[in-house]
Structure 1
């Protein structure tokens, strides 16, 4: 598993946010302790298997952080590399071993949450570095999957960006096709991907509910708030013994980008593919 993202901050600021315990407690975890090169640990309700710290530092320099993380009995390795794109922009690449997409789909191991866990964490890191409000993290000790977000845009504009296939695909950074009507399809990967959820409720400008089958239903509710929009997002109707944390964090990281999409002049996605990441770093 490998993720690439652009941070709108100098490389030294990104490195500090990655290695300072106080910063980690803001954007990454409920608890964190750092004393490099001897200790690098984070844990808490918003960390997978976060009852206690399970990390051990392996290597750190001014552009690399590598640590082991015991998850579901396997000693995984996380590596974060930084490359300067410009004096005020840094390309971050994060990889983690022992991630399997099948485990993400089936929920058979907590390691299945890793890609979306880090997607949300990196989105929050980007907002932390820019002084923006962070997206709420999940509570792995609770089956309640609900979040509220304030977006500096009108409910009409936000709703349009939730149902327009081209706009959703841009901020979610993944192809999504939508038929915005009750009974219409909502297809991650597009209609040709072979499986689509169903829109079961639609109130233009105010609400939409999508049925994903065994994963439950997702509901977006919008209301005006101080000139902006309060977006309430809920996932329900799933087996509470196995909450779909992986999918939930995928949506949360998407909502972080939805907020940026509406609020930042000249918005561009923080996410890069491998070629774009290498090109951006080389250009710097």
Structure 2
């Protein structure tokens, strides 16, 4: 049986490669954007743990290789020795491409929840988004707490509630910043379709809507997602909650949070462009539509 291809994520950081490398390999820096607890002693040690890390009760990483701007480590997850590699490439004096490859990730684990490894795509997406914001001097997005059954986050966006509401309910705008086609009917009973209306035979359903302020969407086994906007001084607090599930859908929660990181950038950067450099269909297989 052929092993699945490694997960690959690529992102652009508007910072020199030396700055990104420092953020990636300095323990104090890691404790800001990745995990509460981290220890680094290159070329022998690269460890991180804590509630923001899957199975983060102890450091399960073992450093295997360090290059000029690359590192590779084993990571024991759910009894399997996985492999993670992070490489930095200088695009220009003020731009760095971050490439991450992760073994032992399959979309089936996302769907079934059979293994904690199902969170790896969204875990690393959120981590890289926070790495990019950190080196660019921007506030970070809240991390997933893998020890908690409460899924709640707040972010402040430098935009009006009206602008933010449109970006959260208009299909074209959501698809632009989320980086993946979404179809939304902003009305009670309306569809919320991953991949667009034509590609999602089992869309989520809008349960409640307060125009200009709030929306609640039923995602079935993944629970109910609700968000609410509160404006003040030209900025908007976005409160986001996911509830009503039997088992915490950490993979989905990480996906929403990494999306919110891009939503903030979408509104706050005048020359916004997505940090991601991949075709989203490469990491979200077609079967995702049928299982949403």
Q: TM-score, normalised by structure 1?
A: 0.94
Paired position in structure 1 for 2:4? none
Unpaired runs of 5+ residues, structure 2, are: 1-6, 280-292
Paired position in structure 1 for 2:271? 266
Correspondence for 1:89 among 86, 95, 99: 95
Unpaired runs of 5+ residues, structure 1, are: 275-284
Paired position in structure 1 for 2:182? 176
1:169-227 CA-partner distances (Å, limit 9, x unpaired): 11111110111111110001111222210011111110000001111110010011232
Correspondence for 2:34 among 7, 28, 31: 28
Q: Root-mean-square deviation (CA), in Å? A: 0.8
More deviation, 263-272/189-198:
189-198
Give 3-state SS (helix, strand or coil) of 1:191's partner: coil
Correspondence for 1:207 among 208, 214, 230: 214
> After TM superposition, which residue ranges in structure 1, 4 or more long, deviate above 6 angstroms?
none
Correspondence for 1:2 among 1, 8, 12: 8
1:257 aligns with 2:262: yes
More deviation, 37-46/187-196:
187-196
Paired residues for 1:136-215 under 5 Å? 136-193=142-199, 194-215=201-222
Tell me the number of residue pairs that the alignment of Structure 1 and Structure 2 aligns.
272
Q: TM-score, normalised by structure 2?
A: 0.92
More deviation, 12-21/110-119:
12-21
Paired residues for 1:6-155 under 5 Å? 6-155=12-161
